[in-house]
Structure 1
Amino acid sequence: MTTRLDVADVCTLLESVRETAPLVQCLTNTVVTNFTANVLLAIGATPAMTDIPTEAGIFAEIASATLVNLGSPRAEQRIAMIEAARAAHQSGSPWVLDPVAVGALPVRTALAHELLEYLPTAIRGNASEIRALAGIGVGGRGVDAVDRAESALDAALHLARTHSSIVAISGVTDLITDGTDVLRISNGHRYLTLITGGGCALGAVTAAFLAMGKDQLTATAAATAVYTIAAELAVVYAHGPGTFGVAFIDALATVDSATIVSRAKIA
């Protein structure tokens, strides 16, 4: 079933994030830590890269929301990720699972399935990752997808229904589903795939929007819409991927309701 997203809700959620500055705990890829923190600051949230055992679970109970990104899961961080996911689940705090390179690599694949036991509020990945996580694919080429977003819709519906999660599939058109309704967002620019953290930081922004306590499908879709619209704004000032990365952070900090209303491509 396809539903519709009210663009006014996207604008309201963005303003709520900026007004409340949710504290987002990030257990994430070491390659993208700085970019992710800057993206959260630009959108109006407060980042905290608390990812060591013993502290991670304690902090997940304090944080407004938590991101668990499997980009570079060293042994100590894997323990912390389980602690944080468990604590977030037990405390009822929203948390996002980004199953980077799941299916293609064995350690993170096993870890992802263990983390699913703690029912992530949202799962965000590319089509190959979502298919592999659902057990119907072998993953992509490292962090890169080899499948189209639409090809992973059945997998996303299955994951959403099985784990009571919102599932977001990145692609030329992003798909977001709660297991029944499906939203499609066609904003964005290919430069997001050419900068380190372009996908990973969206998981953190999704966590920030979920922290607002609104409908989870709406919040996840709103995060995607704001993020991808900002990419379209940034490319106007970019000469290539390098300048795009800087312009993108500026765009996240300045994107406003009027721009969202005029640019949103949501079906």
Structure 2
Amino acid sequence: MTVPMITLNDGTKIPQLGLGVWKMPDDEAPGIIMSALNNGYRHIDTAAAYGNEVGVGKGIAQSDVARDEIFVTSKLWNDRQGFDETLRAFDESMGKLGFETLDMYLIHWPMPAKDKYVETWKAFIRLRDEGRVRAIGVSNFLPDHLERLVDETGVTPCVNQVELHPRFQQAAQRKVHDKLGIATECWSPLGQGEVLGEPALIEIASRYGKSAAQVILRWEIQLGLITIPKSANHDRMRENISVFDFELSDAEMAQIASLDSKDGRIGPDPATADF
């Protein structure tokens, strides 16, 4: 299984579909990561807050896939924002992962009330310029946060990882990303399972002999988004990556677009999140 690549605004290439490891126990991560790599995954998304960077690193080290063939993302947690603290936190993450270089590093949340994300971003730029990180980006940043980063540093994030699924499609946010040249990456791309019972998705899935989850992931792929479904189930991991052998019609894409809801957000609001 070969996953298409997307070229980010700095020229870095990232697999369009990857494995999210949120809530994955650290001691179980090595086996799950090795299984994912054996099934064709080449993009792993972890974070300091997930508590499984050690397990992810072990799984990659123990696999038969070369490190330079795997794209790994980690994220800086909220309590480590600020220039110097960011550099220390990055060193800790790298020690846990066992890497010399990280493929992508993201600021996990903007935390606007703390007002440290610009200084944090400056530390990210330094890490990139030193060659310790290939690509730098953010997660859960709203348009005003993104524009402030660009205005104050001149460096545009490569990626903004945001909640995005059929009930929360973030059309306005995606337009800002397109304008700024930022790739959109989806977290909770399956809506934490809450959207899988949608009749429209089930109907479309039946036409292709696919699952509703596969239809959603295919919809995200065709929108040009990066998607990182989370699963520790080996069969489901194989199912999630098997979305490159069919294509949704324009009418089906429009049918899924109609599922968007103003009340569709599942996670915290980045404007007010403080944790």
Give the TM-score category using the shorter length.
0.3 to 0.5
Tell me which protein shows more helix as a share of its residues. Answer: 1
Give the TM-score normalised by structure 2. 0.38
Q: Higher relative contact order by CA 8 Å / sep ≥ 6: 1 or 2?
A: 1
